[in-house]
Structure 1
Amino acid sequence: MKNLTLINDDCLRALKNIPDNSVDLIVTDPPYFQVKKDAWDNQWPNVEAFLSWLDDVNTELWRVLKPSGTLYLFCGSKLASDTELLIRQRFNVLSHIVWAKPNGPWRRMHKEDLRTFFPSTERIIMCEHYGSEGYAKGASSYHKKCTSLKQEVFAPLINYFKQAKETAGITSKQINAATGTQMASHWFSASQWKLPNEAQYRALQALFKSVLTPLTQSYSQLEKQRIELGTQYGELVKSHDELKAEYARLRRPFTVTKEVPYTDVWTFAPVQYYPGKHPCEKPAALLEHVINSSSRENEVVLDCFMGSGSTGRASLKLNRQFIGIEMDSAIFKQAESFISR
């Protein structure tokens, strides 16, 4: 099937065959450790061994996720704090989402027998690469590119002010006091550079003249030069529309509206029991919300603990490419059938 890659293998072994920086969105639900009775959730001798294994998985996820990508990792409430701390070693955590299920087995329980509060939630750790707005893994952001272009075009004016300040030995505090502003860092450095207005420039001329290092150019000369350079800058930006679009795509996609959950508490109803249901199957509405919020059409979605295949089905429905990895052969065949039908 087009846009679909399904792999029946151990996740760590399979992940090593996926190229670096090739996945736009990872939505995955690894074992929670001793939450389910199934063998796959009880294969580690202790919590430390489980977390060590999960860190190995995170290492591979970090490698395959694009600089602009997003990771959503499901975890149980019991080890949620340990899991988040582990993830923070490699990723910048954006949200610790609480999936508060509106119904579940606790309704049938004898409440008086409880010895602690019943865990009716699951957690979803949403994260990105550190510095993902273009600085992670060697990428350059749209903002950084535009800033660089502006500094290059306005360099003659920027250097005029910077060199005058350095020659005069005047401090930013003196400049701010003389002009009644807090704009010294904008006028006399390349960062967020701005031309002072005429009254401010006259105050600067008086200040610099007092230390025998006058600002020699008239304000009309500077303003004329600023307009000319501004026109040049505008033409450059306009002529680089395609390049701008490319830079914009380096940003991590994220889109929500008032019609969908936009806080970090979600109340999607869990999947009701049916014959053959995977014990960890996630609701389609939840998965579609994640995919719509954090990816674009035709981008690549990865689930390295595919289980029922619900992430794959949601991805194809929303016109994304999907890579699914599942170790258990029987579950893999069931997921393959579920996604394809």
Structure 2
Amino acid sequence: MPKSRDEVYPANREHAFQRIRGSLSHSEAFSNDELSLSCGDALECLPRIPSGSVDLVLVDPPYHSTKKANIYGDSDFDHDDHFVDWIKALGREWKRILRPNGSLYLFCSSDMAPFLCVALSEDYNLQSLITWTKPNEPGYDGWRQKMKKTSLRRWYPHSERIIFATPAADGNLKRAPFGHFLKACRKQCGLTSNQLTEMTGAYGKVNNGGAVSNWETGRNIPSRDQYGKICDALRSTGEIRLMPRYEDVIRAFNVDPKEPWVDVWDFMNVRQYRGKHPAEKPQDMLRHIIRTSSYEGDVVLDCFAGSGSTLAAAVSLDRRAIGIEIEHRWVTYAAQFIGEKSDMLLQRAKGSDLQGATSFEAILPLFSQ
């Protein structure tokens, strides 16, 4: 439970960001009020990050199955099992540093997705397995005509997968962290489920425990208004003085009906340009993930930061960004374009300049103005 207002949203996000910066100071290449970029290996840097300090992990590690020579680490593993074990080790660190109401988005190949889902299921609840169809702009589909399709022995794996998962907490039906939190608070206040239901008016149509019982088993979550009533009821017992904010205990998932809301996404692939990272993801897709699965001021981590496109997307949406990248040349690139001039990015990305931008290339002109 929070002991002071500094431990409650939004102040606690700033404190978390500063603690992370301090933990990575030995490898930090650039930082400012919204962004920290470090050069190093993910599995060496992650253990230094304080537990429960990150709200969203959004990562695009090597895919392994693609074996691309121009992507660092894509050919490091001789066997699939070794790659899966590596991701599982990363997954344990991601879970440790995530807040209980945080989210993980992991880009991966269609070949490896089933194995990674199983590997992560011990520590996470799988929420969605998203298919990104990777459509190309007209005129950039020449490879389709050149490919000898009659030589194929399976459907060509053009799409990619995005695993959306959340930290699991064993002990209730849906392994829901909020269920544990609510039950612990209720018991601390000496209340039964029925009593808390009576105090909040959250009656159910079937069980006497009403919505409280469903919340504690993880079947669903309270609305913001219902959570306010829960806090009032628990504080009225005198056993709890300060409750966390809604943003501290309920996972962000802010669906915009005008944006993709099914698990098949058609964001346009990033076309080639000089200096492009070989695995760059579209800005509009990254922004869609960040806007949906985090709150303003939240801490977003990308420990395979590449050219910094995820960091740029996070900062443009008023989030704090933590990046880790192993290749010095991409750290230099990212520091130059979203580091030294990120104040300019922050100012202009909030305006119409960035609306509809799909690639990192599209926002680079902002830095030269």
TM over 0.5, yes or no?
yes
In structure 1, what is the Cα distance between the partners aligned to 2:230 and 2:301? 40
Aligned equivalent of 1:206: none
Residue 274 of structure 1 corresponds to 273
How far, CA to CA, are the matches of 1:153 and 1:139 in structure 2? Answer: 13
Residues 288/329 of structure 1: CA separation in 2 closer, same or farther (3 Å cut): same
Structure 2: gaps (5+ residues): 1-31, 199-204, 215-228, 342-369
Q: 1:74 aligns with which of 107, 114, 118?
A: 107
Would you say the 8 A contact 1:106–1:118 is kept in 2? no
Distance in 2, Cα, partners of 1:89 & 1:234: 31
**Which moved further from structure 2: 42-51 or 296-305?**
42-51
Report the count of equivalent residues.
273
Candidates 106, 126, 129, aligned match of 1:96: 129
Picking from 10, 32, 57, the partner of 2:41 is 10
1:187-266 → structure 2 map (5 Å cutoff): 236-237=232-233, 243=242, 246-247=245-246, 249-266=248-265
Aligned counterpart, 2:331: 332
Q: Tell me if structure 1 keeps the 8 A contact 2:178–2:250.
A: no
Go from structure 1 to structure 2 and tell me whether the alpha carbon gap of 1:149 and 1:255 turns closer, same or farther (over 3 Å shift): farther
Q: Counterparts of 1:339 and 1:235 in 2: how far apart (Å)?
A: 40
Q: Map 1:89-238 onto structure 2 (within 5 A).
A: 89-103=122-136, 105-131=143-169, 136=177, 140-141=181-182, 145=185, 151=191, 186=208, 236-237=232-233
Query: Residues of 2 paired with 1:153 and 1:46: CA distance?
Result: 50
Q: Distance in 2 between matches of 1:236 and 1:311?
A: 38
> 2:56 maps to what in 1?
25
- What is the match of residue 37 of structure 1? 69
Residue 16 (structure 2) aligns with: none
1:2 aligned counterpart, secondary structure: coil
Q: Label 1:92 to 1:22 Cα distance change in 2 as closer, same or farther (>3 A).
A: same
TM-score computed with the length of structure 1 as normaliser: 0.71
Q: Structure 1 residues 312, 320: closer, same or farther in 2, change over 3 A?
A: same
CA drift at 1:110: 2.9
Mapped contact 2:186–2:234 kept (Cα < 8 A): no
Greater alpha carbon shift after TM alignment, 319-328 vs 243-252? 243-252
Distance apart, 1:249 and its partner CA: 2.9
**Contact 2:253–2:294 (Cα < 8 Å) also in 1:** yes
**Is the CA contact 1:253–1:294 (under 8 Å) kept in the aligned structure 2?**
yes
Higher mean C-alpha deviation, range 89-98 or range 123-132: 123-132
What is the alpha-carbon distance in structure 2 between the residues aligned to residue 318 and residue 92 of structure 1?
26
Offset from partner CA, 1:202-261 (integer Å, 9 cap, x none): xxxxxxxxxxxxxxxxxxxxxxxxxxxxxxx99954977x95662553111101121011
**Separation (CA, whole Å) in 2 of partners of 1:153 and 1:63:** 30
Matched, 1:62 2:84: no
Task: State the Cα distance separating 1:69 from its structure 2 match.
Answer: 0.2
Equivalent residues of 2:251, 2:293 under 8 A apart = yes
Q: 1:88 to 1:334 in 2, by over 3 A?
A: same
Secondary structure of 1:75 counterpart: strand
Q: Is the 8 A contact 1:145 1:247 kept in 2?
A: no
Change in 2 beyond 3 A, CA 1:150/1:95: farther
Verify the 8 A CA contact 1:24 1:68 in the aligned structure 2.
yes
Contact 1:134 1:251 survives alignment (8 Å) = no
Cα distance per residue 1:29-71 (max 9 Å; x no partner): 1111041223520011211111111111111111101101000
Within 2, Cα distance between the matches of 1:283 and 1:101? 10
Contact 1:68 1:134 in 2 (8 A): no
Amino acid at match of 1:140: F
User: Amino acid of the residue matched to residue 77 of structure 2?
Assistant: W
Distance 1:253 1:62 in 2: 16
Q: TM-score, normalised by structure 2?
A: 0.66
Name 1:86's counterpart in structure 2. Answer: 119
* Distance 1:139-1:108 versus aligned 2 partners, 3 A rule: farther
Distance 1:102 1:339 in 2: 27
Shift of 1:117: 1.4
C-alpha separation between the residues in 2 aligned to 1:89 and 1:29? 21
Gaps of 5+ in 1: 159-181, 193-232
Report the Cα distance in structure 1 between the residues aligned to 2:187 and 2:255, rounded to whole angstroms. Answer: 28
SS at match of 2:161: strand
